[in-house]
Structure 1
Amino acid sequence: MQLELFGDEPQRRRPPQGNALPPRERFEAAMLYSSIGDALGWPTEFLIPGRSRQPPFQLPLQTFVNWKKRVGGRWWGYEDKVGPGEYSDDTQLTLAVARCINEEGRFEPERFAYEELPLWLQYERGGGRTVKTAARKLVARQAHWLHNFYHQGDLDYREAGANGAAMRNLPIALVNVHDKQALIRDSFYNAIITHGHPRAILGAILFGLAVHCALTLTAPPPPARFIECLLDGLRQVPQVMRGDERLQRWINTWNRGCLDKELDFAQLYHRTLQEAVQYLKHIPAFLSRDPKDYYTFVGALEPATKGSGIATVCVAIYLFLRYLQHPQQGIIVAVNTFGSDTDTIALFLGSLLGAFHGLQVIPPTLMNQVQDHHFLMAIARRLYEIASASTTFAASIEAKSDRRAFYFSILSWEVAFHEMFHQEYQDGNILIHPALGLGTIQSQEAQPLRRDGYVARLIRVQFKCGQTCVFHSRVKGHESPSESLAGEVARALQEREE
């Protein structure tokens, strides 16, 4: 089966086909079960097979538990106490992407890059180095979401191929149930804000296509048919890339800065595509075998590749097809396959199972106990309503965002952020966040650090919208909190004025 990067003839984007939508509960179930998978798999993410030290909860893990996560190193570290059903950065960023989908169903990369991502740094839980580095870089004046080609230490944008983009892509897949090419375009935009390797980009697109296929099925599919549905979507990626002026600009920039002049983006994309196709086409051969065999085949148990954007999505697709009739068993396998990226794979799998089966697939205890249950449902319903209204084709228009407005909204918030971490707020006090709106402080905790004079403060805020966040920072005396963005934003504004 040949999947070329660029075809000979241009293909016009197809308009949405009809008005029929899958039932709303399948949108709700995809959002809920994805977060449940994230919350279940987060405690086991760093368990090592065969390790003698047992975790403080019973294995195999099948329900939500209390646990503690160590954040930071010896002198800068503190404990984050995670309650039953609390989700990680995977779901946090999924919700951030959902807020950046406008009423026409378009993903707004500017809002995600310049407001949501930087502000997320202050309440992230379990965020990876790649996404956090990309978020910090986007605060600078010269940064642009379409050209965030960072290089810091051992992190290189062009080599960033992990699943940090795919894990947040569910809202884009749901809202574009009518339009595969819009799904591909916005998935591409979403990915390149933080990741520059085709492995991350194709992973985000492939996950979006898998959700689309699961959402639109009316009966359990033969594995070969489901895989063909995915391959059909991948065949449309070249037309989307070729027909989008912004993506062409991005590819040109990628090529100009690549140190290996013999390997341009098209070549690397094609090589990565063949990797994805190989993984997908081999799924049927592993369906009757131990799931670890497929994990091993795609490298999902190797420390260097376990977070691959391609491998983790393919594992979730494999588990979806293998456990389609036994979905709860599939989630348990994903959560308890130690040495893999358990929370993200379980998030992918939960999305697919929810999109296909609906709410009936979710155990009631898990559904009711997952963090921000009602907010997750509300987000899914909003995406459903937008999708149900998206019945006409709209040409791609490059939005003109007011970068200064994003900067000033962050600076306005920084006043409250500083006061919050210098103990000028009490439990029950109200604050207003640029992205999350009105919030009430629920609790505050301080932990002395080994670094002289510093204290880690964790402040839990319940927002009126329904989302709960734990803001964190290290502080010393009257110094700025470690997670403050004020200095970087002020410098960026000054440079823009000059």
Structure 2
Amino acid sequence: MTKDKRLSTPSTEVSDARLVGVFLGAALGDALGWPYENRARNSSSKAGGTLRFSDWVKRSGGRFQPHEELIPAGSYSDDTQLILAVSRAKTTSSDWWHYFATVELPLWLTYERGGGGATLRAARSWLKGIPPWESGPSERERYFQAGGNGAAMRIAPHILSNLGKPFDKVAEDIVLDSVVTHGHPHAIIGALAYGFALWTAIHNSQTLEYGHLLRAVRENVGLWGVWRSVSAVWPNWLPIANDYGFEASWAETVDSFASQIEVATESLEAGALSLDQSTLEALGCFDKRILGAGTVAASAAIYLASRYAAGPMEGVTAAAFARGADTDTIASMTGALLGAINGVEWLGSLGREVQDYEFIADMARSMRRAAPNELRYKWVDNRYIDSILTDLDKGRPIQMPPGFPSVAREVDLVTTNSQNLRARSWILQEPHFQTIVIKKLIRAKRETASEKDQEAFAFKSEEPNSPSWEATFAGIGLYASDIAQSVNFYHRLLGLPVVRQTSKMIQLGEHLVLRPSPNKEKGGSGTLVYIQVSDLGNCFKVLRSAGLMPSEIEINGSRRSLTCLDPDGRTVEVFQRF
């Protein structure tokens, strides 16, 4: 294995045009390819595979929240959104990985467009303040199975912010970024190999030879194919990852990716006989089982950039219009590579039609900054997001984190096809900021017969005899026929902590008190107790192993629940929000 000697001393003399070319090339490819991605569910007849931007309509929501969203011409998707999110993190805080995980990523849930499943799940976990590798067993397993291209698509800021530095330093940043959302070697190795190709392209000061990027990646496996430790930042990550065979499958994944690069190289060396469609098919771009893998997107982008280094727009369109592939991500990654090689001239007037093109160019140039702003920040949690949505709902000024627009206006971009579902949408837009579109779906409440009956019991706040003081719910007491059995159920099986105990009562958690039944009789009929847990799947297994026959887990919106009976026959609903 030989090493390209031109890579050993990267130059810092990189023009602004090439920096802008990386970000704007990525955004252009994303905007061109997004309407043709399978997940986009484009219902517009205007999309025809031509080299222009058009408005189109995206169908979303599945069976339960069906709605359509108008996507204005030139709009980009999650690929560019996450490049910008990482960029803001790197220019805001020296612990950018923490800022990305706890501010940018949770907030992204409010405005994401076309986000992949693994990134969405990880963002929801961080929103709750839980790293995804520390979540419940089922979610943790899904995290370590996440090998998609959601990590590779967003790593361009690490190359631009580390100009002139050895790839080892860049690789450390890429790995720290990747594990925030993805835990499988396919995702991380794809990000590393693509990052190496981008690092090579941006530091190349000579005319790039045909196939140079592919050869550089093939000949430097020992540089990009090495695991970089994250223990200094995430100390428990690798021990947990190895429970899922991470290190054992690393070398195998590197070898598999090297084989993909060999396939791409052989195709390229066929010259005029090379066919993009057959090469992309050989790389797995149209295989529904793996088309979204990080290694597939990386190998496809490196192949197309190597093939079309002298004709960049042709390379981007080859990716963007490859129906059946992950078009937006492959086109975005290809566009970034070709921008690193060719700068911005090739983008022409089409580049200026990309959403936020001036902001994107400014952000690319800002990556040269030696030090971040070190602005103070706080985690974005559910309360933070609820306050934004409430303020938007009521037309009040909103508070956004640094680097985001805060001027909002309501727009009519989202429509629903259900009488029981309403939609509202807002656009946040200011000069020199990223454009943000936030949508909110509201399910209309149906009045049931029981709710109509309850109107007879409704109290009016203006009644003259209402108390003048405030009242707060403090708790509820339940009689238990066998106090030991009940404590075992609520404490040992469901996990409520015992916070107080006397000869007459036992308090569990903040609101539940158990008292011995005077007559030792069971009296639970008609009572419903609610218990919230953080891991419903594991709770289900514990209850079933204790012989309590819980119901099957049901999903309703963002809530999963089961029911069972406590020792006195009371119905207990155990639920988890996600």
> Smaller-chain TM-score range?
0.7 to 0.9
Q: 1:170 is matched with which residue: 134, 148, 156? A: 156
Deviation at residue 472 of structure 1 after TM alignment: 1.1
Q: In 1, Cα distance between the equivalents of 2:323 and 2:317? A: 11
Distance 1:239 1:248, change over 3 A: farther
Instruction: Map 1:103-142 to 2 at 5 A.
Output: 108-141=96-129
Q: Are residue 462 (structure 1) and residue 429 (structure 2) matched? A: yes
2:73 paired residue number: 84
Cα deviation for residue 169 of structure 1 reads 1.1
- Find the partner of 1:194 among 175, 178, 181: 181
The change in CA–CA distance for 1:448 and 1:355 in structure 2 (over 3 A counts) is closer
**AA at the equivalent of 2:110:** Q
Is 1:367 aligned with 2:359? no
Alignment of 1:179-218 (within 5 A): 179=165, 180-218=167-205
Deviation of 1:296 after TM superposition, in Å, equals 1.4
Please tell me the residue identity of whatever aligns with 2:366. Answer: R
Task: Pick from 371, 378, 383 the counterpart of residue 362 of structure 2.
Answer: 378
Selected match of 1:415 from 362, 366, 387: 387
User: Matched residues in 2 for 1:450 and 1:65: separation?
Assistant: 23
Deviation at 1:453, TM superposition (A): 4.2
- State the secondary structure of the residue aligned to 1:112: helix
How far off is 1:20 after superposition?
A: 2.9
- Aligned with 1:67 (options 30, 53, 56): 56
Match of 1:37 in 2: 29
In 1, distance between residues paired with 2:304 and 2:226? 30
Please report how far the alpha carbon of residue 247 of structure 1 lies from its aligned counterpart in structure 2 after TM superposition.
6.4
1:85-105 alpha-carbon deviations (Å, 9 max, x no partner) = 10001111110010111478x
Instruction: Report if the CA contact (8 A) 1:131-1:164 is conserved.
Output: yes
The one-letter amino acid of 1:300's match is C
| 1:17-416 correspondence runs (5 A) | 20-46=12-38, 56-57=45-46, 59-102=48-91, 108-141=96-129, 143-144=130-131, 147-148=133-134, 152=138, 156-179=142-165, 180-222=167-209, 225-231=212-218, 234-237=221-224, 241=228, 245-246=232-233, 249-256=236-243, 258=244, 264-287=245-268, 288=271, 289-363=274-348, 365-386=349-370, 405-407=378-380, 411-412=383-384, 414-416=386-388
Task: Using CA pairs under 8 Å that are at least 6 residues apart, name the structure with larger relative contact order, 1 or 2.
Answer: 1
1:420-470 Cα offsets, whole Å, 9 max, x none, are: 13xx21xxx753312444422243237564666431211111045421111
**Contact 2:192-2:225 at 8 Å conserved across structures:** no
**Normalising to structure 1: TM-score of the pair?**
0.79
Shift of 1:177: 2.4
Please give the root-mean-square deviation of Cα atoms over the aligned residues, in Å. 3.4
Deviation at 1:119, TM superposition (A): 0.8
Quickly say closer, same or farther: Cα 1:301–1:437, change in 2 above 3 A: closer
Q: Give the Å deviation of 1:303.
A: 1.1
* CA distance in structure 2 between the partners assigned to 1:334 and 1:327 by the alignment: 11
Matched to 2:251, the amino acid is H
For structure 2, the 5+ residue unaligned runs are 447-555, 559-578
Aligned to 2:476: none
Larger radius of gyration, structure 1 or 2?
2
Distance in 2 of aligned mates of 1:252 and 1:148? 11
Per-residue CA distance 1:152-196 (angstroms, 9 max, x = gap)? 579711111010111111111211222211211111111111111
Instruction: Look up the SS of the partner of 1:98 in the other structure.
Output: helix
- CA–CA separation in structure 1 for the residues paired with 2:296 and 2:413: 39
Structure 2: distance between partners of 1:130 and 1:109: 17
> Would the alpha carbon gap of residues 33 and 160 (structure 1) be closer, same or farther in structure 2, given more than 3 Å must change?
same
Contact (CA 8 Å) 1:449, 1:455: kept in 2 or not? yes
* Pairing of 1:417-456 with structure 2 (within 5 A): 417-421=389-393, 424-425=394-395, 430-445=397-412, 449=416, 453-456=420-423
SS in structure 2 opposite 1:420?
Answer: helix
Q: How many residues align?
A: 439
Q: How does the TM-score come out when normalised to structure 2?
A: 0.69
Letter in 2 for 1:134: A
Unmatched segments (≥5 aa) in structure 1: 4-15, 259-263, 391-399, 485-498
Matched residue, 1:490:
none
From the superposition, tell whether residues 347 and 253 of structure 1 become closer, same or farther in structure 2 (CA, over 3 Å): same
Structure 2 CA distance for aligned equivalents of residues 436 and 340 of structure 1: 33
The DSSP-based 3-state class of the residue aligned with 2:314 is helix
For 1:248 and 1:280, how far apart are their aligned partners in 2?
33
CA pair 97-483 structure 1, distance change in 2 beyond 3 A: farther
Identity %: 27
Q: How far apart in 2 are the matches of 1:407 and 1:153?
A: 21
Conserved 8 A contact 1:74-1:450 = no
Following the alignment from structure 1 to structure 2, what is the Cα–Cα distance between the partners of residues 58 and 117? 30
Amino acid paired to 2:97 = P
Paired residue secondary structure (1:458):
strand
Kindly indicate whether the alpha-carbon contact (under 8 Å) linking 2:391 and 2:398 is maintained by their aligned counterparts in 1.
Answer: no
1:483 positional shift: 11
